[in-house]
A = this chain, B = another copy of it.
Amino acid sequence: MILEAFTLKIKTEQILKFEENFLKASEIINKSKGYIKHELQACKEIKNQYLLMIYWETYENHMVDFRNSEGFKEWRALLQDFYDELPTVLHYDRVVYP
């Protein structure tokens, strides 16, 4: 299992529409090969900031299977216009705890 995680900074005036689109984008990723689960959390201190965590079976399920899929094009089209900054996507491949 691998965790893809990153911070999203969203254009402040477009938060509601972003969240609406994110729910549509979730339906796409839910069907992707190797997808396990994902969680989008809204920040308390910074109102236009979110933490997105997506768990995959393997790194390739994200970087090869999903990134080269038709679903990814739809995902990107649904979300990319809302980013105030381009997110830095990182992976976490080793659980220290638990």
Question: Which of these, B5, B42, B91, B95, contacts A40 with CB under 8 Å?
Answer: B95
| B98 engages A39 (CB within 8 Å) | yes
Please name all residues of chain B whose beta carbon is closer than 8 Å to the beta carbon of A86 when the two chains form the complex.
Answer: none
Interface residues of A (CB under 8 A from B): 2-3, 5, 19, 22-23, 26, 37-46, 49-51, 53, 59, 90-98
| B44 engages A93 (CB within 8 Å) | yes
> Roughly how many angstroms separate A3 CA and B59 CA in the complex, as a whole number?
25
> Roughly how many angstroms separate A37 CA and B9 CA in the complex, as a whole number?
26
> Roughly how many angstroms separate A44 CA and B41 CA in the complex, as a whole number?
22
| A92 engages B2 (CB within 8 Å) | no
A-B contact pairs, 10 of them (CB 8 A): A22-B97, A23-B97, A26-B97, A39-B97, A40-B95, A40-B97, A43-B91, A44-B91, A44-B94, A53-B53
